[in-house]
Chains A and B, each alone.
Chain A
Amino acid sequence: MSRSPIRDLLVGVFVLSGLAALAYLSIKLGAATYSGPGGLVLYANFDEVGGLAKRSPVVIGGVRVGQVKKIELASDGSFRARVTMDVDQTLKLPDDTQAAVLTQGVLGNQYVGLSPGGSETLLKNGGEITYTQSAVVIERLIGKVIQSLGGSSSSEPSKPPAGGKSP
């Protein structure tokens, strides 16, 4: 029954490397570490979320701090998109923090970028981010550029309004 111990060693190495590969795929690639419960749930309403999706990253200064948990139509009848975010609970975010839907590069994926404000009061679990900036929709932008090029000087290519008010 005694096979060569080298064989056993190789089997062990094989299994370990296989498991390591699986772990790499799951954790690093699948960003499964990010499902360590962020803990801090925040809400924000946007006019337009563009290509933002569940599990899209939530980022501060380029560093990932959480992910989008849910996107649904706001229940207050305003036809805006209500985004639920789950971020790292050790963060101390002032309640005038701004949330914007941004794009990686020009044609890349969309994510939520948070810009912390300066207020003394902090956002608590379940808090609401009031200052939001909607996604840029390329078609509308192009449409506006065409308008402004062909139209009167009074209409500027207006940026999508900050502050979450309807255009």
Chain B
Amino acid sequence: MLELVRKFGWRSISIVHGLGGITLFGSRLAFETLAPPYRLRRLIDDVYNTGVLSLAIVCASGTAVGLVLGLQGYNTLVRFGAERSMGAVVGLSLVRELGPVLTALLVTGRAGSAVAAEIGAMVATEQLDGLRMMAVDPIDFVTQPKAFALFVSMPLLSALFIVSGLFGGYLVGVGLLGIDAGTYVSSLENNIDFRNDVLGSVLKSVVFGALVGLISTWRGFTAAPNSEGVSRATTGAVVQASVATLMVDYVITALWGVGV
């Protein structure tokens, strides 16, 4: 019994310790982002790796989700004779929730894991130590561009996901189910509001970008310097970033309000 309490206490302390660590790390990242030198070259490379290479999966998934939303939405709406609202249903679901959240999860899986693995491998092969010995700060040189690239790519990818989804909905609704194109588009346009919907969506994707950027790089950076450590860092990054995204999603949704 005492053993349980002891274990619980130890776990709690190490969680707090970890939170402190990640907070300090996060503030270092923020500082390095704002302070020169601005490593534009590396940033562009990292945006390529996180953003451009995620384009295919984001657009494909977005279209697929749009297709499904269209079908499912139609099935439900048709019972109330409200098919004309399909544009709104697809659009609002995508913009408010599915766009930012699904994009974050996809990007975590594709780019977040890659970033964690890459940084973890650099720890294991002493590349980061090598940088330190050359009086170059590894956080400034390696970690910050990757975290910032994730942060910047996320809202862009989220927007592209949403647009792909709207297109998917259009394909199903207009192409397959015979809804009038004008109805679909006007239902979309008339029911999505900038302040309530789009702005909240962008805010979410920006916050998720920061979360994924922070967690992936943190896990990579603190990986144990061996192959098991790298593997644990990678899976840990994906799991933690995903869970954090979903939890923060609730918080933002609740705070941002659902009203008109």
With A21-B163, A55-B260: A31-B48 Cβ-Cβ less than 8 Å: no
Residues of A within 8 A of B47 (CB): 11, 14-15
Q: How many residues does chain A have at the interface if contact means C-beta atoms less than 8 Å apart?
A: 31
Find chain B residues with CB under 8 A from A159 CB.
none
A125 at the interface (CB under 8 A from B): no
Instruction: Compute how far the CA of A109 lies from the CA of B141 in the bound complex, rounded to whole angstroms.
Output: 53
The residues of A that contact B41 with a CB separation of less than 8 Å are: 1, 3
**Which single member of B155, B162, B193, B260 contacts A31 (CB below 8 Å)?**
B193
Pair count A-B, CB < 8 A: 93
Instruction: Give the residue of A11, A24, A104 whose beta carbon is less than 8 angstroms from that of B48.
Output: A11
B194 adjacent to A18 (CB under 8 Å): no
- Against B, the Cβ 8 Å flags (1 = close, 0 = not) of A25-51 are 110111110010000000000000000
Residue B101 interfacial (CB < 8 Å): no
**CB-CB nearest in chain B for A6:** B48
Q: A22 — which chain B residues lie within 8 A by C-beta?
A: 155-156, 159, 202
Q: Is the CB of B52 within 8 A of A18?
A: no
Q: Is there an interface contact between B189 and A28, defined as CB atoms closer than 8 Å?
A: yes
Q: For the complex, what is the distance from the CA of A7 to the CA of B53, rounded to whole Å? A: 11
Interface digits, B186-224 against A, CB 8 Å rule (1 contact, 0 not)? 001111111101110110000000000000000000000
Interface pair B194/A30, CB less than 8 Å apart: yes
In the complex, whether B84 has a CB less than 8 A from a CB of chain A is: yes
Option from A19, A21, A107 in Cβ contact (under 8 Å) with B162 = A21
Task: Judge if B22 is at the interface, Cβ distance under 8 Å.
Answer: no
Q: How far is the CB of B168 from chain A (nearest CB, A)?
A: 14
Please report the C-alpha to C-alpha distance between residue A160 and residue B137 in the assembled complex, in whole angstroms.
Answer: 75
B55 at the interface (CB under 8 A from A): yes
Asked if A11 and B52 make an inter-chain contact with CB atoms under 8 angstroms apart, the answer reads yes
Is the CB–CB distance between A54 and B163 below 8 Å? no
Q: Is the CB of B194 within 8 A of A32?
A: yes
**Contact A18–B189 (Cβ < 8 Å):** no
- Determine whether A108 belongs to the interface, using a CB cutoff of 8 Å to chain B: yes
The answer, yes or no, to whether A17 is at the interface (CB within 8 Å) is: yes
Q: How far is the CB of B246 from chain A (nearest CB, A)?
A: 23
- Evaluate contact between A29 and B198: CB separation under 8 angstroms: yes
Q: Say whether chain B's binding surface is mostly helix, strand, loop, or mixed.
A: helix
B19 in the interface, Cβ–Cβ < 8 Å? no
A120 at the interface (CB under 8 A from B): no
CB of A105 within 8 Å of the partner chain = yes
A139 adjacent to chain B (CB < 8 Å): no
Which residues of the partner chain A approach B260 to less than 8 Å between Cβ atoms? 53-55
Specify the chain A residue showing the minimal Cβ separation from B54.
A14
Q: Which residues of B contact A25 (CB under 8 A)?
A: 95, 159, 162-163, 192, 198, 201
User: B45 near A: Cβ within 8 Å?
Assistant: yes
Q: How far is the CA of A107 from the CA of B153 in the complex (A)?
A: 40
Residues of chain A contacted by B193 (CB below 8 angstroms): 30-31, 55
- Using a CB–CB cutoff of 8 Å, the interface residues on chain A facing chain B are 1, 3, 7-8, 10-11, 14-15, 17-19, 21-22, 24-26, 28-32, 35, 53-55, 57, 104-105, 107-109
| 10 residue pairs, one from A and one from B, having the closest CB atoms | A18-B156, A30-B194, A21-B159, A30-B198, A22-B159, A29-B192, A32-B194, A21-B163, A14-B52, A10-B52
Additional A-B contacts beyond A24-B159, A107-B81 (20; CB < 8 A): A3-B41, A3-B45, A11-B44, A11-B52, A14-B156, A15-B47, A17-B156, A18-B156, A18-B157, A21-B160, A22-B156, A25-B163, A25-B198, A30-B197, A32-B198, A35-B194, A53-B260, A104-B190, A107-B80, A109-B190
